[in-house]
């Protein structure tokens, strides 16, 4: 039997133990087998999970923010363009 690649807990450095295994079958491509390895110290693993969750939450928030900023700057650009056009229009009609 093949030995699992050694993976160490990112927090305490203990060798992780096998927790669960599942197969991810996507519509295309081969099925991928995922293995979940956890720290033998349950309390430690809980902290690691929380840290990971926090990080992914932050990442999601960051992505949403940058999307929002992109939309806002596009809106500002459009407004500036419209203002310029209006000015041009005004200059033309006053001649």
Positions in the binding site for Zn ion (CB under 5 A): 9, 11-12, 39, 41, 44
How many angstroms separate the CA atoms of 4 and 2, rounded? 6
Q: How far is the CB of 40 from Zn ion (least distance, A)?
A: 7
Cβ(72)–Cβ(47) under 8 Å? no
State the distance between the two ends of the chain, measured CA to CA, in whole angstroms. Answer: 88
Q: How far is the CB of 48 from Zn ion (least distance, A)?
A: 6
Cβ(2)–Cβ(35) under 8 Å? no
Of 14 and 78, which CB lies nearer to Zn ion in the complex structure? 14
Of 20 and 26, which CB lies nearer to Zn ion in the complex structure? 20
Of 54 and 71, which CB lies nearer to Zn ion in the complex structure? 54
């Amino acid at each position: 039997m093949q030995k699992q690649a050694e993976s160490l807990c990112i927090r305490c450095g203990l060798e992780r133990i096998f927790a669960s295994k599942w197969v991810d079958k996507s519509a295309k491509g081969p099925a991928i087998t995922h293995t979940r390895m956890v720290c033998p110290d349950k309390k430690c693993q809980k902290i690691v999970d929380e840290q990971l969750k926090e990080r992914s939450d932050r990442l999601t928030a960051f992505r949403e923010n940058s999307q929002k900023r992109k939309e806002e700057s596009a809106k500002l650009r459009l407004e500036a363009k419209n203002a310029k056009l209006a000015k041009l229009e005004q200059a033309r009609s006053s001649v």
